[in-house]
Amino acid sequence: MSSVPPTDPSADPAAVANHRPRLDRATAERFSVDLVRLVKLLKAVRQHAPRVHPAVDTMAYPLLFNLAAEPRRVSALAECIHSDISTTSRQVSSLVGHGLVEKLSDPEDGRAQVVSLSDEGRKLLGAIHHQRTAWFEELLEGWSTEDASTFASHLERFTAALESHHEGANRRPTPATPTTTSRTATAPAPTSSSTSKEN
């Protein structure tokens, strides 16, 4: 009698998914409540935070940070900051007007343009980074280095999971909207018996 070798769950993606630990409902609800509270608090803090540059709104900060590594096209920049192209284009135009970014010819396609930080933009980015770091140092005063490091690791993991979920949702095909076909109700032709009754 031949014995069947045990199946390795790691060989089957579906099996791996089934073996992943699932979050219990109580913890998920706690997460949702605290996360919504956190988002609202961060929005309030952002609205009242002192501006490093008087003409630059804090909403433009993600744009500057995503230009630190390399120049990008507006479309790629919009994707990085999870915004639409029209909004990103307006933000770029404002920053260009203040001399913080500049538009250059794309080295890969001379017909297109990329957005790059100017020297003034890099100085501003450094000042923003310094302000943020000082704020977090003050906020986490009293935390041990170990606790703060553990929290940072969990936060990085959570952010990566959120980004992966968001990208996966964007790749899913949009379900087709069912179209309603107008049908004209046709009354049945009267029979001879029904005609005689009506008359």
Tally of CB atoms within 10 A around 161: 10
Residue 184: φ, ψ to 5°: -90, 120
Number of H helices, E strands in the chain: 8, 2
Q: What is the pLDDT of residue 198?
A: 40
pLDDT at 46: 82
pLDDT in tens, 79-107: 999 899 999 999 999 999 999 999 999 88
Q: How far apart are the C-alpha atoms of 198 and 129, rounded to whole Å?
A: 88
pLDDT of residue 193: 44
pTM of the predicted model over 0.95 = no
- pLDDT score of 192: 45
Where the chain has pLDDT below 70, the residues are 1-20, 170, 172-199
Provide the pLDDT for residue 49: 79
Q: What is the pLDDT of residues 53-73, one digit of tens each?
A: 988 988 899 999 999 999 999
CATH topology of domain 54-141: Arc Repressor Mutant, subunit A (1.10.10)
